[in-house]
Structure 1
Amino acid sequence: MKKLITLCFLFISLQQSFSQDLDSLNQSIQKDTTYWNSEFSVGLNFNQAAFSGNWKAGGVNSIAFGSIAAGKANYAKGKLSWDNQLELMYGIVKNEGQQVRKSNDRIFLDSKLGYKAGGNWSYFGSLNFMTQFTDGFEYGPDDQRTVISGFFSPAFLTSGFGMEYKPNKEFALRIAPISPRFTFVTDPNIIQNVPSNYGVPEGQTVRTEWLAFQLFATYDKDISENLSMKSRYQMFANYETLAFNTIDHRLDITLIAKITRFVDVTFTSINVYDLDMDPGIQYSQALALGILYKVSNKK
């Protein structure tokens, strides 16, 4: 009987101790989440145009579909910060008499660890990654296709170590005098159609640029209650081949105008200069009306 009472007492004591530890852990977790700022949005848009055979103004029957998913999870406690951003975009268009073509295709991931240095400055280390989901084609006569890009062909993994200037929540500038970059082209057939092979030496799948400099600037602003802008600029310079025309530039801009709670108009623009891709400036833009759903833990 005494043993039974002792076991019961021990069980109750352990249960109380476990409950206290569990409550303490839950409180700790709940407390820690206050240091996180997270946000996720997903959007879909659909466009269609149709014309009768005797439509005198002219036109081409078409169907277009686009999608965008973006998320961020930022942690800040004391002098330490950790910012993470993901952006996925994909769109297709089908014009009558043509094959289905891409209108948008992007995978972007960025992660940055920072430590406050003083004032508006912080030390940081970062990684960002860019590629696309599916093959890209160059179209010729009779809608003939030539593959010029694909998933991980190319892909860019860029690191950065330096100082960040962040005077407010809207603008941030990273200055990375040490910024190694890895360029991947995993499809060996790409070089047949893109002689530059995006800078990767023939017969290889990876090009490593160890000695390089990077600028990375972001400006995200709610212009009004229903209009917001997100912009990102990247400059990359290889010290070993440094010249004015060998510096890479990329500017991404997204404007979102909300019509109702879930309906919005989205404008996206991508502008690229990279001599390893093309001697000229590349650009793409898209304007779409669709549905956008957004969740956030912002108060």
Structure 2
Amino acid sequence: MKFKLLTLIVLLTTISINATILNDSLALKKDSISHWTKANKVRLIFTQNSFVNWSAGGNNSIAGIVKINISKNYKNNHTTWFNELKTNYGLNKEEKRELRKTEDLLEVNSTFGYRQNTNSNWYYSAKFNFKTQYTNGYKYPNTDKPISKFFAPAYLFLGVGTEYAVKESNFKLYLSPVTNKTTFVFNQRLADEGAFGVKKASYDTDGNLISEGEKTKIEFGMLATGEWKSEVMKNIQMANKLILYSDYLNNYGNIDIDWEINFDLTINKYVTANVGSHFLFDDDVKHKEDVNNDGTLDILGPKIQIKQVLGVGFIYNF
């Protein structure tokens, strides 16, 4: 395991060095004839702790996250079309403990907008969003029974509405009164549990299966999305994104919250530091915990989910 981890670190470092050597172009390239722009970014973030005869104690650990963001956008006087692919994956290895996942995301975004008046910042818009994960998720240290898998869950948002966009202040506000949210749980065991809000399996009084859990859940509701980017201080960029969703048919007024805020600290052209927080609340995602210490995860109520990241790494724009 140590050899594999060392090989992975060497490989990622080699990729970063080669990217640095090859990067002699701008991060943002524009074709003024076709009205297309593209901005592609690869980031490697590392954290490491090492102890030798440290009286206070501690375990050696190393962690790494790969973040890739690829976007291609179209804009003319009346039409905009924003397309983005985001993918993140992170691992942590601590002494005397198994390799653990810290980050796992595959996300695709596409927003099409049209405005009749070129002086207006309001667009008629249609938005598409899809996200899932690559590998199994576990309630560590239990690695025998995954609590999430590829396409379990996966989320699809598709809706129409209006978007207010101000390029000068890097601000966007999207409002949709009609948005479809589809939840996929393509794992029968998790679907039978009713994980992530799908209808769970039903059993008779003797515990015999009557009907399997459903693998999809379709909702219609309203969606609001706000994005704001700003240079809060020299070489410190803030990216703030808030997503709010409420279903019309199932407990209307109960709001799913997805709020992410990141600060990128530019050290030089190739080295950066990142400080970020991610807050989630989804009434359909139930917290799992082994309450009775019997080795079985009990399904409890929904809870606020919080993730924080602090790291230094390499960045490659192309």
TM-score range, shorter chain: 0.7 to 0.9
Aligned AA for 1:259? I
Matches of 2:82 and 2:188 in 1, distance apart? 35
Which residue of 2 is the match for residue 205 of structure 1? 215
Alpha-carbon spacing, 1:149–1:113, altered in 2? closer, same or farther (3 Å): same
Normalised by the length of structure 1, the TM-score is 0.81
3-state SS of 1:46 partner: strand
Which residue of 2 is the match for residue 270 of structure 1? 278
Normalised by the length of structure 2, the TM-score is 0.76
Matches of 1:46 and 1:162 in 2, distance apart? 40
One of 267, 289, 296 as aligned partner of 2:312: 289
Are residues 1:261 and 2:269 paired? Answer: yes
Which residue of 1 is the match for residue 78 of structure 2? 79
Which residue of 2 is the match for residue 190 of structure 1? 190
Matches of 1:231 and 1:107 in 2, distance apart? 19
Matches of 2:308 and 2:161 in 1, distance apart? 32
Conserved in 2, the CA contact under 8 Å of 1:91 and 1:102? Answer: yes
3-state SS of 2:166 partner: coil
Conserved in 1, the CA contact under 8 Å of 2:191 and 2:198? Answer: no
Matches of 1:50 and 1:127 in 2, distance apart? 44
1:40-189 equivalences under 5 Å are 40-52=40-52, 54-118=53-117, 119-140=120-141, 145-169=144-168, 170-189=170-189
Matches of 2:64 and 2:218 in 1, distance apart? 36
Alpha-carbon spacing, 1:137–1:196, altered in 2? closer, same or farther (3 Å): same
Which residue of 2 is the match for residue 4 of structure 1? none
Which residue of 2 is the match for residue 7 of structure 1? none
Which residue of 2 is the match for residue 240 of structure 1? 249
3-state SS of 2:33 partner: helix
Conserved in 2, the CA contact under 8 Å of 1:157 and 1:183? Answer: yes
Conserved in 1, the CA contact under 8 Å of 2:191 and 2:199? Answer: no
3-state SS of 2:151 partner: coil
Q: Where does structure 2 lack aligned partners over 5 or more consecutive residues?
A: 1-30, 201-212, 287-301
Q: Which has the higher helix share?
A: 1
Tell me how far 1:31 sits from its aligned partner: 5.1
Conserved in 2, the CA contact under 8 Å of 1:188 and 1:205? Answer: yes
Conserved in 2, the CA contact under 8 Å of 1:139 and 1:146? Answer: no
Conserved in 2, the CA contact under 8 Å of 1:117 and 1:123? Answer: no
Conserved in 1, the CA contact under 8 Å of 2:280 and 2:305? Answer: yes
Aligned AA for 1:204? E
Question: Percent of counterpart pairs with the same letter?
Answer: 31
Which structure has the greater CA radius of gyration? 1
Matches of 1:49 and 1:167 in 2, distance apart? 43
Matches of 1:86 and 1:223 in 2, distance apart? 26
Alpha-carbon spacing, 1:31–1:58, altered in 2? closer, same or farther (3 Å): closer
Aligned AA for 2:308? Q
Tell me how far 1:117 sits from its aligned partner: 4.1
Aligned AA for 1:156? Y
Aligned residues: 259
3-state SS of 1:292 partner: strand
One of 210, 213, 229 as aligned partner of 2:238: 229
3-state SS of 2:196 partner: helix
Matches of 2:167 and 2:62 in 1, distance apart? 42
RMSD of Structure 2 on Structure 1 (CA) = 1.9
3-state SS of 2:285 partner: coil
Tell me how far 1:179 sits from its aligned partner: 0.2
Alpha-carbon spacing, 1:88–1:272, altered in 2? closer, same or farther (3 Å): same
Matches of 1:227 and 1:39 in 2, distance apart? 19
Tell me how far 1:243 sits from its aligned partner: 3.8
Aligned AA for 2:246? A
Matches of 2:75 and 2:94 in 1, distance apart? 48
Tell me how far 1:137 sits from its aligned partner: 0.4
3-state SS of 2:146 partner: strand
